[in-house]
Amino acid sequence: MTLARIDDQSDRVVVVNMNPKRRGALSPDLYAAVHQAVALAAEPRIRAVILTSEGGFFCAGGDLNTLIERRKLTEPERRDKIDGLHGVVRALRACPVPVIAAVEGGAAGAGMSIALACDLVVAAAGAKFTASYVKAGLVPDGGLTASLARMLPRPLAMELCLLARPVEAERMAQLGVVNLVVPEGETEAQAHALADTLATGPREAQSVIRSLVSSAYGTSESAQLDLERDAMAQAQGGAEAGEGISAFLEKRKPDFSK
């Protein structure tokens, strides 16, 4: 089964199908699909990556049967296994184009980690986000604590991780974690609509914006100002700025496809 593919309709979007047979449970195949999608996104025509699932549930996280087997491994061996998940998160963060999560049903454990590693999150009404680790005597991985610390006040991050209560998409949207709540079954279509909007914009500028926003969370204001200065100085001399500024002055729609 092909889990990562370039969308046939737009030819500008890479779609990753989180394994529908296992409710998107983590697997080496899923990891490989995400890495393949990021590699495909290096093509200039690609403008977005969408993570979705045909199985009615975005990602159930780690398979507990697999975790039982991991208890038999040494701690260094378990670290290596976790690094597989963390490699996926790092790949999503380093992707050259925006990544959109289309969350149907819910995202639990590392599935929630993967969803929040994306740049934009579209969720179905009633879809549940659950930081379920503590229920199994485990702790978050996949960058979940980093994502929540960036997005939420400390008490709310603690609530999600310590109590592990499912939080519906509507509340996640109110908290600013989910960008858009749509009717069930429409998340991928709405994700494609966002991708189409991104596709009309300047690809290089979007990539730099992603990098700047990400660096801002762990950088001093002074250092971030320097990063913005350097990025802006480079952008001002680029072809995208030339087209964007000319279009604005000429009162026309810019064409960033060239």
pLDDT attached to residue 201: 95
Mean pLDDT in residue range 63-67: 83
* Burial class of residue 250 (count of CB atoms within 10 Å of its CB; 0-12, 13-18, 19+): exposed
- For residue 121, what are the β-bridge partners? 101
As a whole number, mean pLDDT of residues 136-144 equals: 95
Any idea where the domains of the chain sit in the sequence? 4-199, 203-249
C-alpha 10/C-alpha 188 separation (Å) is 13
CA distance 155 to 139: 17
Per residue in 21-59, pLDDT (tens digit) is 666 678 888 899 999 999 999 999 999 999 998 778 999
pLDDT band at 68 (very low <50, low <70, confident <90, very high): confident
* 144-151 vs 110-117: helix crossing angle, rounded to 10: 50
Q: What's the pLDDT score for residue 53?
A: 87
Q: Which letter does DSSP use for residue 119 in this model?
A: S
Which pLDDT score, from 0 to 100, does residue 66 have?
A: 84
Q: Residues 4-199: name the CATH superfamily.
A: 2-enoyl-CoA Hydratase; Chain A, domain 1 (3.90.226.10)
DSSP state of 163: I
* Per-residue pLDDT, 11: 86
Q: Are strands 48-52 and 13-17 parallel, antiparallel or unpaired?
A: parallel
Q: What is the pLDDT of residue 176?
A: 95
State the average pLDDT for the chain: 92
Average pLDDT of the segment spanning 253-258: 88
Can you tell me which residue has the tokens 């959109």? 100
d(CA 129, CA 215): 26
Local confidence band at 62 (pLDDT 50, 70, 90 cut-offs) = confident
| Model confidence pLDDT, tens digit, residues 85-126 | 999 999 999 999 999 999 999 999 999 999 999 999 999 999
* Residue the block writes with tokens 């999600």: 160
Residues 6+ apart with CB under 8 A from 53: 17, 18, 19, 20, 23, 24, 59, 102, 104, 105
The number of beta carbons lying within 10 Å of the beta carbon of residue 44 is 8
Q: Indicate whether 2 pLDDT > 60.
A: no
Tell me whether strands 120-124 and 180-182 are parallel, antiparallel or unpaired: parallel
